[in-house]
Chain A
């Protein structure tokens, strides 16, 4: 019972942090900050999946959501910046 309480506590904290970071990702003027915030949201989502006993989904989310897509966003951001200037 005590263990379950800790799980719910971690889940609530992680959920609140992800909501705050998603708002940062939407409202921040600097695109690089927004990309990093979106990547961290994915990382916290993978923690939530792990808490809900879905390690397979958590691995996919951590490697693709917060790893590869963040990287690809940065590549695209760099490409767009240079062509605008």
Chain B
């Protein structure tokens, strides 16, 4: 009873706060501050057709580096807690996979991989980018694991792809200090023509590395979960 009263009290206080915020809210008719700068100068300064990408990779590139680090930490913690037992490596899963799934996966997996790579390589032109493309690639890996439960993904390949992408991301960021205005500045290569595939300086390269890193990390998590399943 007391618990319910407390919950109601907290909810009413929150409702009061939200009502205050709502009643004093006025719709802005024009952009202010930084958003005005991004919207008016972004295309000219960064040269990316997708303004969201130019903010994520260039103006707020340091935050993206932090996000990639957080994802890396998450993957490491999951690997740490999902320790494989000694018998896990040799066990064979005898559960039958549906024939529909196997046939469809043979057709779909290459297309899913290609779409994921398209999404992160065209991050500076169309919606999407490294994180989305990496997640799509991991979905393809998930389909592969589900269709062939006994497949063993090569750990070394995953780890090397992930490490090299992460290091290259930082190296390109540091190169920006020497060749252009600052850390992760994309103007170290020529900006090219606005809207071309080879444009926006370093953004496509950085986003491809982010995509590979995210894809490798998420695939690694899925692979760990598959390996630690108990059914035989």
Partner-B contacts on A (CB < 8 A): 55-56, 58-60, 63-64, 67-68, 71-72, 75-76, 78-79, 82-83
Residue from A56, A67, A72 in contact with B225 in the complex, judged by beta carbons closer than 8 Å: A72
Chain-A contact segment, one of B32-40, B128-136, B150-158, B160-168: B128-136
- Per-residue CB contact flags for chain B residues 95-133 toward chain A (1 = under 8 Å, else 0) read 000000000000000000000000100000001110110
Which residue of chain B lies nearest to A78 when distances are taken between CB atoms in the complex?
B229
- Knowing that A68-B142, A71-B222, A79-B230 touch, tell me 14 more A-B residue pairs with CB under 8 angstroms: A55-B127, A56-B50, A56-B129, A59-B132, A60-B132, A60-B135, A63-B132, A71-B142, A72-B221, A72-B225, A75-B225, A78-B230, A78-B231, A82-B231
B interface residues (Cβ-Cβ under 8 A, vs A): 50, 52-53, 119, 127-129, 131-132, 135-136, 138-139, 142, 218, 221-222, 225-226, 228-231
Chain A residue nearest in CB terms to B232: A82
Q: How far is the CB of B138 from chain A (nearest CB, A)?
A: 6
Interfacial chain B residues near A75, Cβ < 8 Å: 222, 225-226, 229
8 cross-chain pairs, A with B, having the tightest CB-CB distances, nearest first: A55-B127, A63-B135, A82-B230, A75-B225, A59-B132, A56-B52, A56-B127, A64-B135
Instruction: Report the separation of the CA atoms of residues A55 and B221 in the bound assembly, to the nearest whole angstrom.
Output: 26
- Taking the closest CB of chain A, its distance from the CB of B197, in whole angstroms, is 19
Instruction: Give chain A residues whose Cβ lies under 8 Å from the Cβ of B231.
Output: 78, 82
- Nearest residue, chain A, Cβ from B137: A63
Q: Which residue of A lies closest to B82 (CB)?
A: A79
Q: List, in ascending order, chain B residues with CB within 8 A of A82's CB.
A: 229-231
Instruction: List A contacts of B129 (CB < 8 A).
Output: 56
Q: Write the chain B residue with the least CB distance to A55.
A: B127
Q: Are B131 and A68 in contact (CB under 8 A)?
A: no
Chain B's nearest CB lies how many Å from the CB of A44?
18
Minimum distance in angstroms from A22 CB to a CB of chain B: 17
For residue B230, which residues in chain A have a CB less than 8 angstroms away from its CB? 78-79, 82-83
CB distance from B85 to the nearest CB of A (A): 12
Shortest beta-carbon distance, A42 to chain B, in Å?
Answer: 12
CA gap between A85 and B52 in the complex, in Å: 49
Chain B residues whose C-beta falls within 8 Å of the C-beta of A55 in the assembled complex: 127-128
B128–A68 CB distance below 8 A: no
Chain B, Cβ-Cβ closest to A81? B230
A68 to B143, CA, bound (A): 11
